[in-house]
Amino acid sequence: MKIFLYIVYPVFFFAMGCGIYAANKYAEGLVDSNYYEKSRSFFDVKAAEEKQELAISKPGALKKGSNKIRLSVSSHGRPLERAALTLFVGNLSSTGYDSTLAMQELVPGIYQATADIPFNGVWLVRIDLKQQHLTSSRKWFFDVK
């Protein structure tokens, strides 16, 4: 029995050391660096949105083919005019069909862009808003059938 333990202990510690070495050398960086600084900027943006009383409506349902994506943007209960809105549409399973489009202002506070959805699946729609003192983003997932 002693001989067995004399063999098992060194093998166990060698395997443990190899595991720790491999974990340290090939770490994927799951912990984000500068986490607190990045979260502070996120909360600053959210505070600015609340101060501006920013409201962005969710686009309507998407279908396969050409889609006119229309949404309304308001600040302090009034339509937000002359804002730079960018629309991103992408499929979750393939990045080859991602598209980024500039949205056009139809009337004050109503913006529209036309996006093509070539096939069924789960699609991400993200709106990026940039105005003088405000940068914001909203995203939604749509199941296109």
Q: What is the pLDDT of residues 135-144, one digit of tens each?
A: 889 999 999 9
133 pLDDT tier (thresholds 50, 70, 90): confident
Q: What is the pLDDT of residues 88-104, one digit of tens each?
A: 999 988 888 899 999 99
Q: What is the pTM of this model?
A: 0.71
Helix, coil or strand: residue 95:
helix
The H or E element that residue 79 is part of is strand 78-79
Contact 125, 87 (CB under 8 A): yes
Cα–Cα separations (whole angstroms), residue 53 to 15, 37, 83, 125, 128: 58, 24, 15, 22, 16
Give pLDDT, residue 68.
Answer: 95
Q: Closest Cα to residue 12, out of 20, 26, 25? A: 20
Which domains does the chain show, CATH number per domain?
55-144 (2.60.40.10)
**Residue with more model confidence, 93 or 29:** 93
Query: Average pLDDT over the chain, rounded to whole?
Result: 89
- Buried-exposed string 93-125: b where 16+ CB fall within 10 A, e elsewhere: eeeeeeeeeebebeeebbbbbebebeeebebeb
Q: What is the pLDDT of residues 49-87, one digit of tens each?
A: 899 899 999 999 999 999 999 999 999 999 988 899 999
Q: Closest Cα to residue 129, out of 39, 55, 34, 20? A: 55
Give pLDDT, residue 29.
Answer: 64
The CA distance from 16 to 59, in Å, is 53
Assign residue 2 a region: left if phi > 0, alpha if psi is -120 to 50, beta otherwise? alpha
Contacts of 141 (CB under 8 A, 6+ apart): 92, 122, 123, 124, 125
